[in-house]
Amino acid sequence: MLKNGFVKGEALKILRTNSSEATFEENISNFRKHLLDRGYPRNLVEKLPTGIKFTGRDSALKQNNRARKEILPFVTHLYQPSVSTIKKALLKKWHLIQNQPLLRQIFKEPPIISYN
């Protein structure tokens, strides 16, 4: 699945950055050859142009306006191996925050854990 997502994303990038059909076809062909040289499965490389054609370039260039999530970072000052334990504990007790109406409005999404 990861390979498939990478291949599709790179093919879309080629589609967006080539303004003529001739250069798009040349670059997508080079991309296919590069993938095969790197050992990607032939069936994955052959499926590459499915849905990614130069005629669909206009829709590929349109911006995707997704709703932004406001995620609060939980920052610790020093990295410690126990940071993963903090995350587990926080997520295990997240329901306590969500049960409080005021806290639920403030903390809509669980925080991401990071260190400074």
**pLDDT at residue 98, as a whole number:** 92
Quickly state the pLDDT bin for 15 (edges 50, 70, 90).
Answer: confident
**pLDDT at residue 78, as a whole number:** 72
**pLDDT at residue 44, as a whole number:** 78
**pLDDT at residue 96, as a whole number:** 93
In sequence order, the 6+-apart residues with CB closer than 8 A to the CB of 61 are: 16
Q: What crossing angle do the helices spanning 2-17 and 21-37 adopt, rounded to 10°?
A: 150
**pLDDT at residue 111, as a whole number:** 84
Domain ranges of the chain: 2-61, 73-115
pLDDT in tens, 23-81: 888 888 888 888 889 888 888 777 765 556 666 666 656 666 677 777 888 887 777 77
Do residues 24 and 18 lie in contact, with contact meaning Cβ atoms separated by under 8 Å? Answer: yes
Detail the DSSP E strand segments found in the chain.
Answer: 73-76, 112-115
In sequence order, the 6+-apart residues with CB closer than 8 A to the CB of 40 are: 3, 7
**pLDDT at residue 1, as a whole number:** 43
Residue 56 DSSP symbol: G
